[in-house]
Amino acid sequence: MKKNRSSSDHTNLLGGIGGLSVLCASLLSPILYAAPNGETAGDVQEVVVTGSRIKRDGFDASTPVSVISAEDIKLSGKINVEEQLAKSPQFVASTNGGASANTVPGGTADVNLRGFGATRNLVLVNGRRFAIHGPEQVTDLNTIPSALIERTEIVTGGSSAVYGSDAITGVVNFIMRDDFEGVELNAQYGADSPTGTGNYSFDITAGTNFDEGRGNAVISINKLTRGGITRGERGDFAFDSLSDGCVVKGSGTDHSAGDVFNASLASCVSAGGELGFVRGGSGDIPASRISGIPLPGSAQSNAALNAAYTGAGIGNFGAFGVTFDNTGKTARAALDPQDRFNLGPDNYLIIPQERVMANLFSHYDFSEKATGYLELHYSENTVDAQLAPSNVGTTTLLNVNNPYLSAGMQEVLNQLDLRETGSTKVTSGSTSRTTVAGDGLAMVTLGKRYSEVGKRRSETERDVFRGALGIKGELGSYSNNFLSNLNYDVYYTYAKTDTTEDLFNALSRSQLQAALLSNGSNKPVCNVFGLNVDEACAKAIRISAKNTTEASMKVFAASISGDLFQLPAGAVGFAVGTEWRSTSAQYSPDTYLSSGDVVGFNAGLPTGGSLSVKEIFSEMRVPLVKDVTAIKNLTANAAFRYSDYSLSGIGGAATYLGGLEWQVNDDLAFRGQFQRAIRAPNMAELFGGLRRSVETATDPCSSKQPASQQTADVRAVCEATGVPTSQVFTAGVQPNTIIPADFGGNPNVGEETSDTKTLGVVITPSALPNLRLSLDYFDITLDGAIATLGGGLNNTLNLCYNVIKDANSEFCKAVHRDGNTGAITDSNAVQIRQANTGALETSGVDLAMRYSFELSNSKIDVGTDWTYTDDFSLTPVQAFPNVINHCVGSYGATCGEPIPEYRGTTRITWALDNYSFSLRHRYMSAVTIDTHVLPTRLGKTAPALSTLVYPKLPSQQYLDISFTANVMENIQLYGGINNVLDNDPPVVGSAQIRANTYPATYDVLGQEYFIGINAKF
């Protein structure tokens, strides 16, 4: 196992490169529509560039367009296209949309442009919508044929006026090779240094012209295998489940746990310890843990119960409760965190994937003015997830004479039964029971990890079919000066996705409760005390489940473009058209899930619905001035789209844009644009049934609330919302790091509205003809953000207790608690619904630079892309505009994935006749935990950094190397190593997303090797 160390150990090695990159970043950011190899700036060809339907050069556009070439994808060594996109500085990591997303449901890949979420950027293939995978109406990038990608164009900012709903933060458009002759084979193998787990990808592409060159057909078949890696296999930082704690001085590091020092976080340093990571995990443990009962000597207890505690040998237990030895006969006080269950080793760090995909692209010239085209896609994608064994931690009934317990513990249960008051209903999934004092049933919170049942597994198979049929061509000209150079495009697309999700080794709540109680003279089926669950018990409570999802999308669109009329400065370009879209989705959960009678996987209700929209759109490009002093070209552009939705919450909606392009001379140009965009609610937000989610969050009424915020007013709200006075700010209120919540849709939710402003400069100096540089400012605001109440579980809790502090607020009313412990449990989950509740805003500067120069017998290409994020703000509730989470430069439970202030990539390639060598540098600036950053930026009291455990994640710098070698005329070898310096990711304790870090943001596999071969015939 590799020695623990921080990635900052390599700072000196990277100093020169990092300094150069930061210098570039202070000057420049992305667009550059780089000319293809061998094409100079003067060889400009007019094409349809993403962001418009009017033909123009990529630099001659008011909307910034960034391009990732097929060569960039190859040299990255990534077999999944979303991994390459995620490294681009315009994107924020997608937590649940990639290889590290060990979630159920899951198995999809997406991108998160500007950090607004996968539902707010639009994915296109050849300028057309592709396929959706479920009620969220997001495109699964696992369906994109990477072998056929010619280039990927990324547009920043709202593009709804051009493409319709969803293009809030921009568009990712995959341009495919659709005119190919011959046969091309590509095979690639990759592995990581810590585990040696292999990844394989094989592509065969064949194309031919037919009918004397009038037609062309291309077919491509792909087989992909990605090996799964568990956290236990990865080892090192990923093995333990780390939490923030107090440790013995010198016993831990910023990458590993220390020895527990018995003091709270608040008193740790003064007591002689130091802040650090401790081995934590779940409070539901294999030997079982009983909590939710009166503490010895407390006001809630009585003399008889205190005596029973002493007789059972547990007269000194605290809020963490009582546990057992392996036999189950001896009880003792549970220790926190020493007794917690390590969730880490069983969980996947990288989920396994198997994919088979076939694509066909064809076009045929029926005449000089009519070209038909056809696109067909089929893919079968199988992705597994694996989680630690199922656990249950909820109110449970036990027989007071349970034969598996010692006489002392039987007496404890008897006294708990006798002290009950009134009648209490205990719900267990689809069943419920009522208990009263003296009925022989004791009510406790029983937390157990059922390891004997087996690891939780899901197998998700997603089958996608998509077809597009269209005809396009030239209409000619009405006259030379009016309606000239006309083109048309008419197409229809149909896409359908069928998903089957098989779940294994879950538990039935009702069957578990039944198995814990005697049945007549028969003793309980399950002995859950100690390590005594046998196969008979496991069989009685184990369940499997099957969920299915069907999603489809139909699109019909027709457009005409060309030159409307002539002005002195040139032709007025235009495009007009109409579009109709219909989407539908149906999620059908297994009856165990829909009834809520499941533990181990999130419960959920059926979700289904459909929506449609009819649209008309137009676009114009008007040359205003040409070839006068200081103005070589001044052009205005505008677009408008009206959408008529079949949704009562929206009805009709208009989107529009306006921009200006000012080319001063051949060396300098300015551009700016304003765009109004919308996003209609998707089917999950509209029609989603209740689903249970268990998420990492902090209960402000527990001991996890920072000491400085454990105030009297917060205590009052805790008590008003159901926390017993004696339990406020104790560990018993939140025994686990995760909290259950129920989420659901709202059919009356309306559309989101965004405004995007961009302003930029493009420099193409005549003195350096191969240099292209752009600098673009962006500002994107989103109002009426559709989100869960309060913006999510953790925000809802924070707003209730730390911000608004009113038990009658809608946020506090969503919180339900166990009456005995005050904990939020499976039976008392937080209730959250969808609403147009929040706002988002981001602004910053994008820089891009491309430069190439010739040497005596070789060529050097330099490219750099950087993003400086000036602001990234989340307003959970627009009704409270002063409550804004300014998240740039931060990470944590509220802000989520790290949002660095600076992020960039730089690639230098040295190309010889038959060889090329490439060095890529990736950089992310440091981030600080949001529990300190957010209140500080709001001018409120925040925990001092010195009272937090490793609150800053240092800047990260990675080096990647790659090569190509043309070993024969038609055969090329390529390969490389990513993360050459073998940097570990920064480690996070209690604020982590998963695996003790942010695996979607940082490299978690150390060095990654790849080697491939490409052959053309």
HSE-CB for 102 with a 13 A CA cutoff: 26
Q: Which of 11-15, 21-25, 809-813 has the lowest mean pLDDT?
A: 21-25
Tell me which of 327-341, 660-674, 787-801 is least confident: 787-801
pTM, rounded to two decimals: 0.85
Q: What pLDDT score does 50 carry?
A: 59
Q: Which pLDDT score, from 0 to 100, does residue 51 have? A: 62
Mean pLDDT of 461-483: 95
Select, from the ranges 10-24, 668-682, 951-965, the one with the highest average predicted confidence (pLDDT).
Answer: 951-965
- Is the model's pLDDT at 298 over the cut of 80? yes
In sequence order, the 6+-apart residues with CB closer than 8 A to the CB of 9 are none
pLDDT score for 592: 84
Q: Which residue, chain included where needed, has tokens 């493409």? A: 163
Q: What percent of the chain has pLDDT over 90?
A: 75
Task: Please tell me the predicted confidence (pLDDT) of residue 544.
Answer: 93
Confidence grade of residue 753 (pLDDT, cut at 50, 70, 90)? very high
Asked whether residue 879 carries a pLDDT value surpassing 80, the answer given is no
The pLDDT of residue 383 is above 90: yes
Confidence of residue 201 (pLDDT cuts 50, 70, 90): very high
Residue 62 confidence (pLDDT)? 65
Taking 50 as the threshold, does the pLDDT of residue 28 lie above it? no
pLDDT digits (tens, 9 = 90+) for 816-827: 999 889 999 988
Q: What is the pLDDT of residue 469?
A: 97
Measured CA angle at 596 (ends 592, 601), to 5 deg: 75
Rounded mean pLDDT, 854-867: 94
CA-nearest of 228, 106, 227 to 499 is 106
The pLDDT assigned to 738 comes to: 87
User: Which tokens in the block code for residue 648?
Assistant: 């009562």
Tell me the pLDDT tens digit for each residue of 215-239: 999 999 999 999 999 999 999 999 9
Q: How confident is the model at residue 5 (pLDDT cuts 50, 70, 90)?
A: very low
Helices assigned H by DSSP within 747-903: 793-798, 810-813
- The three-class DSSP label of residue 447 is strand
Exposed/middle/buried for residue 629 (C-beta within 10 Å: 0-12, 13-18, 19+): exposed
Q: Which of 9-13, 158-162, 922-926 has the highest average model confidence (pLDDT)?
A: 922-926
Q: Looking at residue 66, what is its pLDDT?
A: 86
- Model confidence at 629: pLDDT above 60: yes
**pLDDT digit string, tens, across residues 667-688:** 999 999 999 999 999 988 888 8
CB atoms within 10 A of CB 883: 18
Cα angle value 383/598/281 (rounded, 5°) = 75
Q: Is the pLDDT of residue 158 over 80?
A: no
pLDDT at 20 over 70: no
- Residues 532-581: pLDDT tens digits? 999 999 999 999 999 999 999 999 999 999 999 999 999 999 999 999 99
Residue 605 has pLDDT above 90, yes or no: no
Q: Is the pLDDT of residue 14 over 70?
A: no
The mean pLDDT of the chain is: 90
Look at 505-509, 651-655, 929-933 and tell me which has the smallest mean pLDDT. Answer: 651-655
Q: Say which residue, 450 or 84, is predicted with more confidence.
A: 450
* DSSP result, 293-353: SPPTTSTTS-HHHHHHHHHTT-TT--TT-EEE-TTSS-EEE--TTTT-B--TTTSEEE--E
Give the pLDDT confidence score for residue 744 in this predicted structure: 84
Residues 6+ apart with CB under 8 A from 471: 366, 370, 371, 372, 373, 489, 490, 491
User: Band of the pLDDT at 995, cuts 50, 70, 90?
Assistant: very high
pLDDT, tens only, 343-367:
999 999 999 999 999 999 999 999 9
Query: At residue 2, does pLDDT exceed 60?
Result: no
